[in-house]
Structure 1
Amino acid sequence: MTAPFNRFVWTGLLSLTLVACSSPPKPPTVDESQKRPVNAQMAVELQVCKNDLQNTRILATESSRLAETTAATLAHMAARQQLLSSLQEKAAANSLRIVHFAFNSTQVSIPTAEASALVEEAKVAPLVLLRGRTDGTADSSAESRIAQARANAVRDYLVASGVDPTRIRTTHQPSGDHLADNRNPQGRSLNRRVEIEVYRTLPVTQQASQ
């Protein structure tokens, strides 16, 4: 009784096992309406980054073009300003004339044509600067006196010719600042002089002091 029963039980279990193996379980179903890609947010952010990068490149290109245009404009303006300054300097350039003196002399002697041009310029100039010089090789009271006397003599000459004395300034130097080689007579004759600088416009320091 037991053996047939056991055989029956094993046969039934085997049949159930075969049936279970021949019919695998169905996979779980997914609601497609609720399905979302796991990288959707990342994809959006990546696209945003790509767009930002492209916009940045466009802005960089435009900025580069603008910088080149600006640099060219500034260079052109600088060139124009330099040209204008050069023209202004030429227009306002001072004239320099020199009066030479005999040895140990303070007597002013200027050729007539040169004297007329000098006086005409000096009359309309806002400033006339006179610098007395000697052919001295060392500073001394005697050299200083004659250098100053020569500058004063030219000043008196200009004032007598109608130049406003308030526009004239004098200075002097006892020795040095030689114009030519002071070791020979010809050079020394050129070094005994008064330099007359006629200003067409006042120096900045003069304008500030007025």
Structure 2
Amino acid sequence: MRILSLTFLAAAAVLAGCASAPKPPMANEASRQPANDPAHIEALKLRAEMERARVGLQIAAQQAKSMQMLTEAQAMARPVAFRPGSGVSSASNGANTIYTVRFSSGSTKLALAPATQQSLVKAASQGAQIVLRGRTDSERDDAANARVARLRAEAARVLLVQGGVPVSRIRATWQGAGDTVASNDTAEGRALNRRVEIEVYAAEPQPGSLDDPRATVAQRQ
């Protein structure tokens, strides 16, 4: 009887040991890093600054590429004939042409003869893309001058669209100051700077790639 009791007690002890819940895993305190740890916060800041710097370099490269293309196009441009006294001048590099319309001081109205307007519309309608650039003779790029530059570009857009040029082919930009073609120290120079440039491109620009395969830039001028 005593042997049976001992056997029963031993079996009960074994079963009790098997029925106990497993211990939960313990965290490795050495690998824990509090969210407010100064070193951890500083590392996150450095990582964010590095990412901003990388993006900034990509944007700078895109802008440099666009400026280089614009400079090359302007250097290749040569004067072409336009009807004298029309108020419009033009330059061409063979395939693309830039027409320049000038304005009176503070004006945003295209003061062109009907025949000249028709000539501009006809030339623009043959282009695959038209870029309008409104400019002023101001030294300050403030809201008032930006508005004048915008309205000059918009006046050219309205003229072309009313003449039948598809609006999808037209891009308008403006700049309240800078990008001058002559000195603002003289009345003649200021008159040359008050303008809208109508750039007519024979072919739609095609996308190009940078050295970094993660970034692409459309070769638009």
Quick one: distance in 1 between partners of 2:104 and 2:94? 33
1:92 touches 1:200 (CA, 8 Å); kept in 2?
no
Change (3 A) 1:112 1:203: same
Q: Decide whether aligned partners of structure 1 residues 181 and 167 sit closer, same or farther in structure 2, where only a CA change above 3 A counts.
A: same
1:77-130: CA deviation from partner (whole Å, max 9, x where unpaired): xxxxxxxxxxxxx99621110111111110012244433222112112111100
AA of the residue aligned to 2:96: N
User: Which of 165, 169, 181 is the aligned partner of 2:167?
Assistant: 165
- CA shift in 2, pair 1:208/1:134, >3 Å: closer
1:123 pairs, out of 122, 125, 139, with: 125
Aligned length: 120
User: SS of the counterpart of 1:151?
Assistant: helix
Question: Given that residues 96 and 198 in structure 1 are in contact (C-alpha distance below 8 angstroms), is that contact kept between their aligned partners in structure 2?
Answer: yes
| Residue 205 of structure 2 is aligned to residue 203 of structure 1 | yes
- Between Structure 1 and Structure 2, whose CA radius of gyration is higher? 1
The equivalent of 1:96 in structure 2 is 98
Q: What's the CA shift string for 1:139-194, capped at 9, x where partnerless?
A: 11111111011100110011111111111100011111111111111111110000
Alignment partners' CA distance in 1, 2:93 and 2:191: 33
- Counterpart Cα distance in 2 of 1:208 and 1:138: 29
Task: Name the counterpart of 2:185.
Answer: 183
For the structure 1 residues 121 and 207, does the alpha-carbon distance in structure 2 shift closer, same or farther, using more than 3 Å as the test? Answer: farther
Q: C-alpha distance in 1, partners of 2:206/2:159?
A: 27
The AA in structure 1 aligned to 2:120 is L
CA contact (8 A) 2:121 2:159 kept: no
Unaligned runs of 5+ in 2: 1-91, 208-216
Cα distance between partner residues in 1 of 2:151 and 2:181: 19
Structure 1 letter corresponding to 2:110 = V
> Quick check: 1:92–1:201 contact (8 Å CA) kept in 2?
no
Unpaired segments ≥5 residues, structure 1? 1-89
| In 2: Cα distance, 1:176 partner to 1:131 partner | 12
Letter in 2 for 1:181: S
Indicate which of 142, 145, 148 corresponds to 2:144: 142
Q: TM-score, normalised by structure 1?
A: 0.52
Shift of 1:204: 1.5
- 1-side partners of 2:206 and 2:111: how far apart? 33
How far apart in 1 are the matches of 2:99 and 2:219?
26
Change in CA separation of 1:208 and 1:97 when aligned onto 2, cut-off 3 Å: closer
In structure 2, C-alpha distance between the alignment counterparts of 1:150 and 1:111, rounded to whole Å: 17
Contact 1:133 1:192 (8 Å CA) reproduced: yes
